[in-house]
RNA sequence: GGCCCCAUCGUCUAGUCAGGCCUAGGACAUCGGGUUUUCAUCCCGGUAACAGGGGUUCAAAUCCCCUUGGGGUCACCA
């Protein structure tokens, strides 16, 4: 499989289960997965559920479902206990208080007794004065004795990390050296009033204890990184490598949100986008291989992926590109596959009932074969085959145009109906065998000196209510004799109303 | 607003690190043509970009600086 093997590489995808699995999160997971597989490393899933207010069980499930849908199996994580569990951050939190105590002992952290009110006030003042919005280190002045006494007396406090003097350089694998002055960083809270640790501290503990070697995450975490690096150093832990990948932007630029349509991977799953299409789509937002190849399957990506080819600028979400990829991969699938995928959608649409499935199977497979190359995701099949199940009540816009253009074609259509009715009995009418029907049409137009289109187009409009369908005679053969003649009998209504 | 990141066709990008091979390549979208009973597919072709300004250099899309623009981040959220 992979040429280089570095069993020591360990990466994690660490989503917080608030809401849904965002498409950007899925791409982060993908990049982590590819990096791990490429280097023979370990891909870990860690659920960062420490925000008790917002973390939900459905959101956790959505993460599992989303990753499985995309085929990104984790090596360690919930349901796959390894030697570095637990894999829910909430269960790991208690173990980090000792690190906090250690830091306090060493003078690298201190208790802060400031009230939220004072902090709010301070922020307001700084904001009004256009100063840096930062804690003023008032409690750093407290003596250890004072601090201990007040804590013992039960006075509420948080613990802050004492940011040292100097500057930190993060050597990001994608961005290069990112230089930050420590005076830009405030003494961040690492332990809350209730004794639990805050995210920035917990990730450091988690990443260290889980042996994470490479942190691959969204660029929105870039400004957190110097703080975390400082924490690693204060704790005496080795600092992992970082790679901050660009964000996925909304079509107009800016943050991609529900306002722009589906952003949750489960949405795409439900719509029936093929996982291979999603993978290809996601990976190409921010990563490329060369100036030739656009189509990549997961195994090939594992071989070809590299962080060096991840771009630095944000990528706008382009639904058209997804649709293209969706349609492309749909065409690659076998008819058998497609039938399996499509039937649930047909049943949901009420087109087939369980009881009729076996009897109808042949016809259904034929119509799905015709429709397969015309959809970008499985759910689109419903509108694509609707006319097979429902007689058209009205004509769509295109069909209306066709009828108007062929106003004088009604007699031709009716002659064809009569001719077919006479010449093609039920036994000769075989689904999937359009030749008889086409022969009848060609015979007729030959006697009238017309083009095939002069008959076929209005015929299609009347039979399906549409101007665009798969091959007309194939459609007719599948539709069946009774349905065709029934629909054709209504031809003059459509011509009359057009 | 402070700090950080980014900047090639409408979009995703190749080329930038190791300056010349770039009259800037590909894909999506778009426009035109071919095939076809329509549509889709498929094939052929077109339009379309180095944000602006200064440097450095024999030579800059590529290196440096400034400007502009976009994004991120500044919580007892993660």
| Residues 6 or more apart whose Cβ sits within 8 Å of residue A82 | A42, A44, A75, A76
User: Catalytic positions of A, please?
Assistant: 258
Across A221-308, the runs of DSSP E, i.e. the strands, are 241-245, 248-249
Q: In this structure, is the CB of residue A182 within 7 Å of any atom belonging to strand B?
A: no
Write down the residue that tokens 């939900």 correspond to.
Answer: A56
What DSSP string describes A424-439? --GGG--TT--HHHHH
This prediction has a pTM of 0.94
Q: Which two tokens stand for residue A59?
A: 């959101």
Which chain B positions come under 7 Å from a protein C-beta?
1-8, 10-16, 25-29, 37-42, 70-78
pLDDT at A131: 82
Query: What is the interface pTM, i.e. ipTM, of the complex?
Result: 0.96
Inter-residue contact A100 to A109 (CB < 8 Å): yes
* Residue tagged 């201990």 (tokens): A148
Q: CA A377, C1' B58: Å apart?
A: 57
Q: What is the pLDDT of residue A1?
A: 38
Length of chain A: 498
pLDDT of residue A5: 45
Q: Each residue's pLDDT tens digit in chain A (498 positions)? A: 333 445 589 999 999 998 899 999 999 999 999 999 999 999 999 999 988 888 899 999 999 999 999 999 999 999 999 999 899 999 999 999 999 999 999 999 999 999 999 999 999 888 888 888 899 999 999 999 999 999 999 999 999 999 999 999 999 999 999 999 999 999 999 999 999 999 999 999 999 999 999 999 999 999 999 999 999 999 999 999 999 999 999 988 888 888 888 899 999 999 999 999 999 999 999 999 999 999 999 999 999 999 999 999 999 999 999 999 999 999 999 999 999 999 999 999 999 999 999 999 999 999 999 999 999 999 999 999 999 999 999 999 999 999 999 988 999 999 999 999 999 999 999 999 999 999 999 999 999 888 999 999 999 999 999 999 999 999 999 999 999 999 999 999 999 877
Residue numbers in A 105-144, CB below 7 Å of strand B: 115-116, 119, 123, 130, 132-134
A214 upstream amide cis, omega within 30 of 0: no
At a CB cut-off of 8 Å and minimum separation 6, what does A360 contact?
A352
Query: CA–C1' span, A459 to B4, in Å?
Result: 64
Q: Are A322 and A265 in contact (CB under 8 A)?
A: no
Do residues A88 and A49 make contact, with C-beta atoms less than 8 angstroms apart? yes
**pLDDT number for residue A7:** 55
**A289 CA → B15 C1’, Å:** 12
CA A246 → C1' B71, Å? Answer: 9
């Amino acid at each position: 499989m992979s040429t280089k093997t570095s069993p020591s590489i360990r990466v994690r995808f660490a989503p917080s289960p608030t809401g849904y699995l965002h498409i950007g999160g899925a791409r982060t997971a993908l990049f982590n997965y590819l990096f791990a597989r490429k280097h023979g490393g370990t891909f870990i899933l860690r659920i960062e559920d420490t925000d008790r207010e917002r973390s939900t069980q459905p959101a956790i499930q959505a993460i599992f479902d989303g990753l499985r849908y995309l085929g990104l199996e984790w090596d360690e994580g919930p349901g796959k206990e390894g030697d570095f569990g637990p894999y829910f951050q909430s269960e790991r939190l208690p173990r980090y208080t000792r690190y906090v105590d250690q830091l306090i002992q060493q003078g690298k952290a201190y208790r802060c007794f400031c009230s939220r009110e004072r902090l709010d006030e301070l922020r307001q003042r700084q904001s009004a004065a256009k100063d840096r919005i930062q804690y003023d280190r008032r409690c750093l002045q407290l003596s250890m004795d004072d601090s201990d006494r007040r804590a013992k007396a039960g006075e509420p406090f948080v613990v802050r990390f004492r940011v040292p003097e100097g500057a930190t350089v993060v050597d990001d694998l994608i961005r290069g050296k990112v230089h930050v002055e420590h005076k830009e960083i405030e003494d961040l809270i690492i332990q809350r009033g209730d004794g639990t640790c805050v995210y920035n501290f917990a990730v450091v503990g988690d990443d260290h204890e889980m042996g994470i070697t490479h942190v691959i995450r969204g660029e929105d975490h870039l400004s957190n990184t110097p703080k975390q690096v400082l924490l690693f150093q204060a704790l005496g832990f080795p600092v992992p490598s970082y790679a901050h990948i660009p964000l996925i932007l909304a079509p107009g630029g800016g943050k991609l949100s529900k306002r722009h349509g589906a952003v949750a991977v489960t949405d795409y799953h439900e719509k029936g986008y093929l996982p291979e299409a999603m993978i290809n789509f996601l990976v190409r937002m921010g990563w490329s291989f060369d100036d030739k190849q656009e189509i990549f399957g997961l195994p090939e990506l594992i071989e070809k992926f590299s962080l060096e080819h991840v771009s630095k600028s944000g990528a706008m979400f382009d639904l058209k590109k997804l649709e293209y990829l969706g349609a492309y991969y749909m065409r690659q699938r076998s008819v058998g596959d497609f039938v399996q995928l499509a039937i649930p959608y047909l049943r949901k649409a009420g087109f087939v009932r369980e009881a009729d499935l076996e009897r109808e199977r042949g016809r259904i497979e034929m119509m799905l074969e015709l429709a397969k190359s015309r959809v970008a995701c499985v759910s689109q099949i419903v509108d694509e085959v609707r006319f097979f199940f429902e007689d058209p009540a009205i004509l769509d816009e295109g069909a209306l145009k066709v009828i108007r253009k062929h106003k004088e074609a009604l007699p031709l259509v009716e002659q064809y109906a009569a001719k077919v009715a006479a010449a093609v009995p039920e036994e000769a009418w075989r689904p999937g065998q359009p030749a008889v029907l086409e022969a009848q049409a060609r015979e007729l137009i030959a006697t009238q000196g017309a083009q095939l289109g002069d008959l076929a187009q209005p015929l299609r409009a009347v039979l399906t209510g549409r101007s665009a369908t798969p091959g007309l005679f194939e459609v007719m053969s599948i539709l069946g004799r009774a349905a065709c003649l029934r629909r054709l009998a209504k031809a003059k209504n459509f011509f009359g109303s057009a």
